Structure 1
Amino acid sequence: MDTSAAIDLAHERAHAYRFLSRAFIGAPDAALIDALLDTAAAETTLPDFYREAKQADRETLRQDVAADYNQLFLGMSAHPVAPYESVYTSEEGLLMQDARDEALAAYRTWGLTVPESFGLPEDHVALELELMALLADRAASALETGGGEEAERLAEAQRTFATEHLTWVDALCDDIQKRARTAFYYNVAALTKETLAADRELLEEQ
């Protein structure tokens, strides 16, 4: 792969991870829904949501997706989903376990700042995906300035973080697909699994 193609790929990976991070950090606002539905890629990346939205009032759609986010992730249902690594990887299935501390250490190493207003355990899936976006962006910048060794160091950091901190996300997405009431979160879960699987293969090849 030549340098130009590698730069484009790094930007694409950053964009994909950042979108997924945004989808998990909170319910989409009207601007995000409009941006998604006015982008041709949504027809293939979020196919069920795209088909559903074609026949729906967008404000009603936004409200339905927000309600689904609340019932999935904010405990407003009998069986919510916990988007935290510790819950899926600790023996007790509890929050604030070793995975949280290790994820926070990785953020500090690579300069990902968690806003004080975040107010949730730092092993939240949205933050872990945001770190992958940040590292991909930095790899693109390194390649743009001729820093091949730095780009490889960043690729290794991505491989390590994906192996140590993202293996639980498939199980999270399976739970989301079982409990989602809207096509949006069902499709986001499917897209997350597809993105991580493809990226694992890509990082191994690199």
Structure 2
Amino acid sequence: MGRSVGEIVMEELVYLYKLASLGLTYPNEAHWSAIERIVSEREALFEGETLDMVSDFTGQFNGVSIGDVRSDYLTFFDLGGQISPYETEYLTEKISRKPFELADIAGFYRAFGLSVNQSSDDKEMVDHISVELEFMALLTSKEIYAIETNSKEHEEIVVDAKGKFLKDHLARWGFFYCRQLESLEGGGLYKSLGKIVEAVLTLECERYGLDKTVYNKDLTREALNGVRSDTLACGPLSGEV
């Protein structure tokens, strides 16, 4: 019998974070190719319930064209779309704190030597779901490296940062975001990604002793009209593991 979702090993977790990050950003050619590589290796990377979830995504992925997914992305997530992919649009009870929240997220990235790819044509705000998921993938990779090199101090630093980022940011809105994905009419690709991210967040909350029910609640949205400021915008994150 294969492993259950609750038994996902960290190497699998890195790939799940990466897959979700790539799938939830605007589908350009580079992202599409990276997803193709991950799904082509799925049987070697995953097993059990995790493989079932990824296989569901793979079936959806193989059944659409990049053009169709681009159209869906703009319909579902573009400015004024059905779902906001930006964390701070859900802070309606404290809108005045948005600049501070953005700065806090960016501070997490800088603390781990993660830099902005200034040459990237697909810059996103730091609170975009895909950027936050990419950051968690990088932290998980750093945690694996610290364990492999028996660096307890570095491991503790990374684990502490992951727990805080999950508590203060990703978990706070991620569950609601996933429920929105899963309630879409159409958009099977995004529904399957919602299930993956929800499973990962559930697992991570259990690991860090966070009560999922505290975070798994309905949120309201302060939809942004116009152009988002490019302050604190970033392309793909890069940094040394």
| Common topology (TM > 0.5) | yes
Distance 2:60 2:156 in 1: 42
Distance 2:145 2:41 in 1: 29
List runs of 5+ in structure 2 lacking aligned partners: 1-7, 211-241
1:39 corresponds to which of 39, 42, 45? 42
Tell me how far 1:177 sits from its aligned partner: 2.4
- Asked if 1:162 corresponds to 2:166, the answer is yes
Q: Is the 8 A contact 2:14 2:141 kept in 1?
A: yes
Deviations 1:61-108 (A, max 9, x none): 333222212212224xx7432111101124266995332111011111
What residue is the counterpart of 1:3 in the other structure? none
Deviations 1:98-139 (A, max 9, x none): 321110111111122232344332111111111111111111
How many corresponding residue pairs?
Answer: 192
What residue is the counterpart of 2:134 in the other structure? 130
What residue is the counterpart of 1:194 in the other structure? 199
Q: TM-score, normalised by structure 1?
A: 0.78
Distance 1:204 1:137 in 2: 21
Q: Relative to total residues, which structure has the larger helix share, 1 or 2? A: 1
Identity of aligned residues (%): 23
Distance 1:132 1:67 in 2: 27
Distance 1:38 1:136 in 2: 20
Q: CA RMSD in A?
A: 3.0
3-state SS of paired residue (2:150): coil
List runs of 5+ in structure 1 lacking aligned partners: 1-7
1:99 corresponds to which of 95, 98, 101? 101
2:125 corresponds to which of 121, 124, 130? 121
- In structure 2, do the counterparts of structure 1 residues 105 and 186 end up closer, same or farther at CA, with 3 Å as the change threshold? same
Distance 2:158 2:133 in 1: 15
Distance 2:136 2:23 in 1: 15
Give 1:37-186 correspondences, 5 Å limit: 39-40=42-43, 44-46=52-54, 48-51=56-59, 56=63, 60-75=64-79, 79-91=81-93, 97-116=99-118, 117=120, 118-166=122-170, 167-179=172-184, 181-186=186-191
Q: Is the 8 A contact 2:85 2:129 kept in 1?
A: yes
- In structure 2, do the counterparts of structure 1 residues 121 and 50 end up closer, same or farther at CA, with 3 Å as the change threshold? closer
